[in-house]
Structure 1
Amino acid sequence: MAVSTPICDFGWKAPDFALPGTDGRTWTLDGIRGTRGTLIMFICNHCPYVIAVRDRIIRDARDLQALGIGVAAISSNDAAAYPADSFENMQRLAQELALPFPYLYDEDQSVAKAYDAVCTPDFFGFDAGLGLQYRGRLDASRKEAGPPDLRRDLYEAMKQVAETGQGPQEQIPSMGCSIKWKDAA
């Protein structure tokens, strides 16, 4: 079942975290933070919405990093129920795709909860002061990648944040698979 993200809560402050990365490092928000903004993405290995646009996520991350935007991706899915999303499989995928950003594991799902992440992919674009400026989609792709000439909504929004400190007032929610939450004990 597809889920959409809520409307951007402009200025909402990014919660800090310390998460293990597929590169063997422990990453914090401050370690990811860019001089002109920060993009935190909730993704996972198995979601068809993410798989359809992985190449675009990588392209946009590289282009945004060149603009001074720090970028990281976080997987928060229950790996016991979805073994494709295990940390070992995250490490394998990060290496296979040569991800240009840290890919972090939120095993206890506390970071996803702190961010109120709802789906994969879910994009949180922050200004240089870590105030939320974008909570929209990558582009108009859905479960299948759209045509190559689609407007790059995430890239254009974060470019605007890098240049002006402000995200676009009009944002189209991201859509994807729900985060796979662990059963409450």
Structure 2
Amino acid sequence: MKIIGLVGNNADFSYNRLLLQFMSSHFTTDVDIEVAEIKDLPMFNESTAQPTPTCVTTLAAKIAAADGVIIATPEYDHSIPASLKNCLEWLSYAAHPFTDKPVMVVGVSLGQQGTSFAQTQLREILNSPGLNAHVLSGNQFMMGFAKKQFDQNGQLTDDRTLDFLTQCFQTFQQFVQAHRLMTVE
């Protein structure tokens, strides 16, 4: 199973990138998680007469070829980062790779609430007509207090957090497999 893990911000250091990197190295049985960045995408402008940038078409092709997508979003001011919204605008305009694609939303934040507001907003955006993703409901992995959750090697330190992440990811794998069966018929 091929999964694209989309880092939902453009920061040089990101706990959400760290989470996806952890998932990529931890969940290796029957799955390959490729971590993809959005930091090089230019600002979306629908009125531009220029062709779609190569970085957008490359990302769209990776998403289209994947069995599923995990989007790791931080929460900035009760919302998704502008860089993630920019990415989704490019993809909904230029290529539509999320159409009928299974998507899991995860998030890490420094505060207590995790990324609850951002995840709710992201789920609504992913359901919009230009994206039409199949977003896994429930199994919302939101991790707060990020600085306490990872050790210096990028490993999760809390067994309960790891158990919940594993449960959520296993449910996502089942969701992707069920989606495959539905699209084959």
TM-score, normalised by the number of residues in structure 2: 0.34
TM-score by length of 1: 0.34
Question: 1 or 2 for the larger relative contact order (CA 8 Å, sep ≥6)?
Answer: 1
Q: Which structure shows the higher helix fraction?
A: 2
Instruction: Report which of the two has the higher share of strand.
Output: 1
